[in-house]
Amino acid sequence: MKESGKINLVGLTRQELAEHLAEIGKERYRADQIVRWLYLQRVTEIEQMSNLSRSCREHLLGFAEISQLELVREQVAEDGTRKYLFRLHDGHTIETVLIGDKSRLTLCLSTQVGCRMGCSFCLTGQSGFERDLKAFEIVDQVLQVAEIIDPGGLSRGAISNIVLMGMGEPLDNLEEVIKALEILKYDDGLQFSSRRITLSTCGLAPEIIELGQRMEVSLAISLNAADDALRSRLMPINRRCNLAELMAACRSYPYTKHRLVTFEYILFAGLNDSLDDARRLVKLIGSLPTKINLIPFNEHPELPFKKPEQKQITDFLKYLQDHNLTVMTRRSKGADISAACGQLREAVDGEVK
């Protein structure tokens, strides 16, 4: 995909489309028609928008286009997880992961090229930050994967859920992420309800509060430690927003019975997997309605951390359950193709053909 200087219709909200159309004297309902063409019919050419008048299409062609991410590579893991490498117009690449389980097909989206949060267990964080993704680059990951798995189909195809958990920290790119979420939720488009979208953050407390005020989506927190000293070692963001601030932001997040805050807790052998750690975690969570995902660490040759023994994992899980927390262990999927949590990163020179 090369940058042409034209506006990309993908990634414009309904309101933005209406404003562009108003500039050329077109009625507001045309924006609804374009939304349906782009996200329900998944057309890739303005000329295909057959219920727009010829003059309207010609006007649009003068300043707008539908540009797409370029698929560079698809990899399939032993467990069926699929990882897609997309090239952006400036040559950077991002990864998107499609994870299937019994009842769901979840697409894990990237929101930045790289990440500036620097979590010590994450390869994306270790590779540094290049730039934020634009809303269209976030939304188009969904359109492209929907078309790959359901060629010529409608709307989101078989993709049932979205998680913003790929490369980047979504709340570090809040404006573009909010625009993308608004578009993903259009009920005459891709039709993802709030419950089907989960935004995962390393814990930017002020932005969590702002997100809760502006957008309805499920929230997941990458927690990983229940004391400030350890969390600051693992996740530098904790030096800016400590656990007290983070928990206050979570308590302010508008949740309902069906939309609990989820805490992701990666278990690292000998670091955060003792019963003392479990005790601290119970105390930290208190009465906050939540569920906890325990994720035994995915070992990787470039990272110094180890996965705990099974007994350690079971004991930790049992302690939390005994203290009435809703908790499950989750195995990261796609580890053999580096598609698991914290393993995504930009392709390096020479890696992509």
Determine, following the binding rule CB under 6 A, whether residue 225 of this chain makes contact with ligand SF4: no
* CB 115 to ligand SF4: min, Å: 3
Q: Considering CB under 6 A, how many residues would be counted as binding ligand SF4?
A: 12
Q: One of 95, 137, 207, 264 is an active-site residue; which one? A: 95
The window from 90-98, 110-118, 138-146, 296-304 that contacts ligand SF4 (CB under 6 A) reads 110-118
Burial status of residue 256 (CB atoms within 10 A of its CB: 0-12, 13-18, 19 or more): exposed
Q: Which two tokens stand for residue 94?
A: 């991002």
Residue 94 backbone dihedrals phi, psi, to 5 degrees: -135, 160
The window from 39-47, 96-104, 115-123, 150-158 that contacts ligand SF4 (CB under 6 A) reads 115-123
Site string for ligand SF4, 291-330 (x = CB under 6 A): ----------------------------------------
- For residues 307 and 266, the answer to whether their CB atoms sit within 8 Å is no
- For residues 320 and 327, the answer to whether their CB atoms sit within 8 Å is yes
21, 97, 117, 217: residue in contact with ligand SF4 (rule CB under 6 A): 117
Q: Is 118 left (phi over 0), alpha (psi -120 to 50) or beta?
A: left
Catalytic residue status for 108 = no
The window from 52-60, 118-126, 131-139, 180-188 that contacts ligand SF4 (CB under 6 A) reads 118-126
* Spatial separation of the C-alpha atoms in residues 49 and 56, rounded to whole Å: 10
Q: One of 115, 202, 341, 346 is an active-site residue; which one? A: 341
* CB 224 to ligand SF4: min, Å: 9
342, 343, 345, 346: residue in contact with ligand SF4 (rule CB under 6 A): 342
* CB 124 to ligand SF4: min, Å: 4
The count of other CB atoms within 10 Å of the CB of residue 234 is 22
Residues 6+ apart with CB under 8 A from 349: none
Determine, following the binding rule CB under 6 A, whether residue 203 of this chain makes contact with ligand SF4: no
* Spatial separation of the C-alpha atoms in residues 10 and 180, rounded to whole Å: 10
Taking alpha carbons only, the member of 165, 282, 291, 274 closest to residue 230 is 274
The window from 69-77, 120-128, 133-141, 142-150 that contacts ligand SF4 (CB under 6 A) reads 120-128
CB of 146 or CB of 164, closer to ligand SF4? 164
Site string for ligand SF4, 124-143 (x = CB under 6 A): xx------------------
CB of 99 or CB of 122, closer to ligand SF4? 122
Taking alpha carbons only, the member of 224, 205, 219 closest to residue 280 is 224
CB of 46 or CB of 341, closer to ligand SF4? 341
Catalytic residue status for 56 = no
Binding site for ligand SF4 (CB under 6 A): 115, 117-119, 122, 124-125, 168-169, 202, 222, 342
- Catalytic site residues? 95, 341
